Chains A and B, each alone.
Chain A
Amino acid sequence: MTVLTPDIILIQALNGLASASSLFLVASGLSIIFGVTRVVNFAHGSFYMLGAYLGWSLTRHLASFGAFGFWGSVLGAALIVGGIGILVEMLVLRRLRRAPELYPLLATFGVVLIVQDAALAIWGPEDLLGPRAPGLTGFVSIFASRFPVYELFLIAVGPLLLGGLWLLFRRTRFGLLVRAATQDREMVAALGVDERRLFSNVFFLGAALAGLGGALQLPREAVNLNMDVSVVVEAFVVVVVGGLGSLVGAYVAAVLIGIIQAFGILFLPKVTLVLVFLVMGIVLAVRPFGLFGRSAASEGLRTVAQESVLRPLSTSSRILFALCVLLIGAMPLFAGGYAMGIVAELLILAVFAASLHFLMGLGGMASFGHAAFFGIGAYGAALALTALQWPIAACLLAAPLGAGLAGIFAGWLCVRLSGVYLAMLSLAVAQIAWATSFQWVEVTGGDNGILGVWPPPPFASRSGFLLLTLVLTAAALASLRIAAFSPFGYALRAARDAPRRAEASGIHVRATQWAAFAIAAAFAGVAGGLYALAKGSVFPTYLAISKSVDALIMVLLGGIGSLTGPIIGAFAFGGLEAELMASAPFWRAILGVVILALVIVAPSGITGVLGRQIGKRQKSAASA
């Protein structure tokens, strides 16, 4: 236990404030962009990372100009990143203006993947050390400790920026438009404001702020390829805790988070990661719209583009599915071990995707943390098998039970909110689970994970495991399908379609959504438990954001308007990923391009496109 002396308190508080300023630079831009365009910009962390990398390159080229070179580089990096922001807005997001809010969000994740590989290609995998800031290299003495002057400078940047933005928003026409659009976007458009220009300008401002934040990090820490996701998740927390669209809220929340981290490292180094998300969970549970937020900014996150009527499978589709099951079941007779392994994995991913679809497609609740339940299922099965030495059936039962219980708890928190807030809270819950798996080394093995999670005979062989997987996943997918057409499934869709109407027609909206959350979590747990056995190991990455996004992509790729969509999406995505990872060096960028192409060209997914094709053919056959 650290002894608390006044100088330690002061130093840690100052450290916290310095981090808060950096965080605020990123979070303010995120908040402004969301306020005006309603885009939750996952790529904001990429803007931050690009700012750092560009700043690093510019300082090297301008090193001979001394102080002017350094500060010029910082500003230059911010401006270039601002320009990149405009490009992203114009090339990608502008085309998605009319799409459900989920699509732009997914598109920005595509940008994240592309930027990651671009940065890897340009700057390489090594951490890059930046120069010190000219004129601010010294230290000041605080009691007996030395404190860097540059940190003091950063502490001042936060409030200065807040003041600057306040002036910008109160004193300029641009600021007036931004505030107006944040309140009521349609009204501003109706008053004849050029939305395109406003959005481009807002993206420039937001991206430049993130780029500035990144470039200002140069003297503090090495530039690396993981900066983007870690900072954007923290910035999300800040924006949501502060209240979407509120700059003052963002600064207060940034200070809160910065201070919590600074002192958390001192006292509870093992749970610092959890602490931040715990604070977010508590704030949202007490104040659902954040500290300074208002409910106006929290309109639903539409997940389904056009309300599509679900229909039971036609006889021919039933036969097709039965043939697929038979074909996979017969694989041990003709296929090799590798192919059987891949197919088993794809089946598992299909259950994972279908469970998210149940929540998101039918329930209208876009979860950004669905991987948490997948991971909890995986850890549950792995621990039951290795530590507890349970029989295999009990292990496979432990997975959905553990995940379902976690889902009951997480769902209780999440269904109180809707739209972006729900998405962010589910992300926070997932990050808590991820951080726990990462830091609770005694039980989870931390970063090293749990190894040797192999199923006992007769499931130890590839063919035995494939058959086990086939039986369980087919049963899981069939159950989800039956549930969708059950009275409960209809009540769930009713709660999504028209919550007020549903409530006035005897449907307990919140209880229905809560139950759906738990059911979806349990089925994700089924998938996770099988996945652990398929891989023979479990790692914290199973709970990571990227895994949650994988599930989102699978659902949207297949098509959210259909129950078959997530299955097809899982096979397409899983197959593509396996193919790309094996062969292409920049598979993440390719995946990013695929995501962008998907949301822009075929937002209704594979099933949507197929459905339209079939419809066309039927029409032309009828007219012929």
Chain B
Amino acid sequence: MSTKVLEVEGLRKRFHGVEAVRGVDLTVCAGEAVALIGPNGAGKTTCFNMIGGQLRPDAGRVRIKGEDVTGMSPRLLWQRGVGRTFQITAAFASMTVRENVQLALHAKAKRLNHVFGRMTANFGDEADAVLDRVGMRAEAQRPCAFLAYGDLKRIELAIALAAAPKLLLMDEPTAGMAPGERVQLMALAASLAKREGIAVLFTEHDMDVVFAHADRIIVLDRGSILAEGQPDKIKADPAVRAVYLGAGLAPTASA
């Protein structure tokens, strides 16, 4: 785990005089899953949106594989291998599961400007292969509008994976899911990351998910990094315990 995929340096953002993020540095390497946690208002989402191109940082640098991508739009970041899933899940509802992935594959092949020729005629097998990886092959023909929420999350993951990303940003990937599904989805993402050498950065409220699947944890508090390290070290950190008042860090979390 030595290739640095994402490097963030001195990231800052201020909203109407409130400093939401004040100087965050972090690195994520290929094949590594890093969790960004912290209490509400700690600046997780702001950090995330600056890395994902939704927000422009006031100061600091974001690099992908050494290239400075600070302030780039989500689409340009996508071209540089950044895939992402959103907190409020949305797939393309007017299409089938397979069409969602096929469209992402067309985007990857830069064929979206083709006005002739059926979209569904190309990349069908490739799409099925991606769906296999997220365990949705059987649902390929179903319209996305009628999928269960957990399945929709998998489709989002499949859309991101279709572009063969180097970095996967997952904002609250398991929010709104049933407990069983949560661990499953994150286990899937983490194993894909390991196997394919993708760097994963995710925010998460569910500590079970975090401690089970993060290789490294970064704790944010009031815009700065409070602690960083292996799950066991974070779990034992008294400063982290103080911020969370012990909530969510019960001993059962290691199960």
Cβ contacts under 8 Å, B112 to chain A: 487-488, 491, 506-508, 512
Given A497-B90, A497-B93, A507-B112: 11 more A-B contacts, CB < 8 Å: A304-B94, A309-B96, A488-B113, A496-B94, A498-B91, A501-B156, A502-B92, A504-B75, A504-B84, A506-B79, A519-B115
Q: Is the CB–CB distance between B86 and A487 below 8 Å? A: no
Closest to A499 in B: B90
Q: How far is the CA of A281 from the CA of B101 in the complex (A)?
A: 39
Given known A-B contacts A486-B115, A487-B111, A490-B99, A505 and B104 have beta carbons under 8 A apart: yes
A500 and B171 alpha carbons, distance in the complex (Å): 13
Q: Is A503 an interface residue (CB 8 A)?
A: yes
**B73 lies within 8 A of chain A by Cβ:** yes
Supposing A504-B74, A505-B159 touch, asked if A483 and B115 sit within 8 A by C-beta, the answer is yes
Closest 5 CB pairs of A and B: A506-B107, A307-B93, A498-B90, A307-B94, A497-B92
CB-CB contacts below 8 Å: B40-87 with A: 52, 54, 73-75, 77-79, 83-84, 86
* Contact assessment for A485 and B118 in the assembled complex, using a CB-CB cutoff below 8 Å: yes
Residues A504 and B94 in contact, CB atoms below 8 Å apart: no
Find chain B residues with CB under 8 A from A504 CB.
52, 74-75, 77-78, 83-84, 86
Cβ of B62 to closest chain A Cβ, rounded Å? 15
How would residues 295 to 310 of chain A score, 1 for a CB under 8 Å from any chain B CB and 0 otherwise?
0000000001011111
Q: Which residues of chain A have C-beta atoms less than 8 A from B145's C-beta?
A: 306-307, 309
Q: Given that A307-B94, A494-B92 are contacting pairs, would A505 and B115 also be in contact in the complex, using a CB cutoff of 8 Å?
A: no
Most buried by B among A485, A486, A487, A497: A487
A515 to B160, CA, bound (A): 25
Residues of B within 8 A of A512 (CB): 112
Q: Once bound together, how far apart are the Cα atoms of A422 and B153, in whole Å?
A: 31
A357 beta carbon closer than 8 Å to chain B:
no
Write out the residue numbers on chain B whose beta carbons fall within 8 Å of the beta carbon of A486: 114-119
Q: Give min CB distance, B182 to chain A, whole Å.
A: 21
Count of B interface residues, CB-CB < 8 Å: 42
Identify A490's interface contact among B73, B106, B143, B156, CB under 8 A.
B106
What are 8 A-to-B residue pairs whose CB atoms are below 8 Å?
A308-B94, A487-B117, A489-B119, A497-B94, A500-B90, A503-B73, A506-B163, A507-B103
Q: How far is the CA of A482 from the CA of B121 in the complex (A)?
A: 13
* Smallest CB separation, A81 vs chain B (Å): 41
Please indicate the chain B residues that have their CB under 8 angstroms from the CB of A482 in the complex. 115-116
Q: With A and B bound together, what is the CA distance between A306 and B94 in angstroms?
A: 8
Q: Assuming A487-B112, A487-B117, is B75 touching A506 (CB within 8 A)?
A: yes
Which residue of chain A has the shortest Cβ distance to B123 in the bound complex? A487
Closest residue of B by beta carbon distance from A488: B115
Chain B residues contacting A38 (CB-CB under 8 Å) are: none
Q: Is the C-beta of B108 less than 8 angstroms from some C-beta in chain A?
A: yes
Q: Is A493 an interface residue (CB 8 A)?
A: yes
